[in-house]
Amino acid sequence: MNDYAGWSDPDLLEAVADGDRRAFETLYGRHAPWLVVRLSRRCADPGVVDEAVQDTFVAVWRTARAWRGKGQVAAWIWGIGIRRLLDQLRGRPLALVRAGEEIVVSAEEQVLLGIEYGELGTALNRLSPELRAVVQATVLDGLTTREAGKLLGIPAGTVKTRMMRAKAQLREVLA
């Protein structure tokens, strides 16, 4: 039986920062399944998704001390995961061929790359981390206000307020 099962995510991450491999295994077991599902919605190639998940947890292991204790650990992991997926997709051809089977890169993958590196990506990077997290959770991840609030550890009303502020700033920058 895993004595880490009852530990909170912040406690597990603190133990991971101290090099505790069993805490890392527990954190991985808790978060890798949903990360695979969410990244699979954004990428049609399971191999790319698997690489992104593995890269994500290597980064979690190496940078566990970087988590600032604000918001949810899951949101922090998601931020790493989506960036790792984009890293995997960067520079890839739009149609892949593997073992004679063509894998077409989805429109969503193309949009994600455009967001990361286009004019909108530059505008998003100008937002404060709090506003950018709300935009990512609601617009890019498609979460409801309530779901985004849970993920980010803030009330739903705060999500709405931050989204209004983010939209206003984006309009100003992109105008």
pLDDT in tens, 129-145: 888 888 887 877 767 88
d(CA 164, CA 38) in angstroms, rounded, equals 25
Give residue-wise pLDDT tens across range 91-120.
555 444 455 555 555 555 555 555 555 677
What is the reported pLDDT for 10? 93
The whole domain housing 147 covers 118-175
134 in the same domain as 80: no
85 in the same domain as 34: yes
What is the reported pLDDT for 102? 56
d(CA 17, CA 80) in angstroms, rounded, equals 16
Per residue, the 3-state secondary structure of 80-96, as one string, reads HHHHHHHHHHCCCCCEE
126 in the same domain as 63: no
73 vs 120, which has greater pLDDT?
A: 73
What is the reported pLDDT for 54? 96
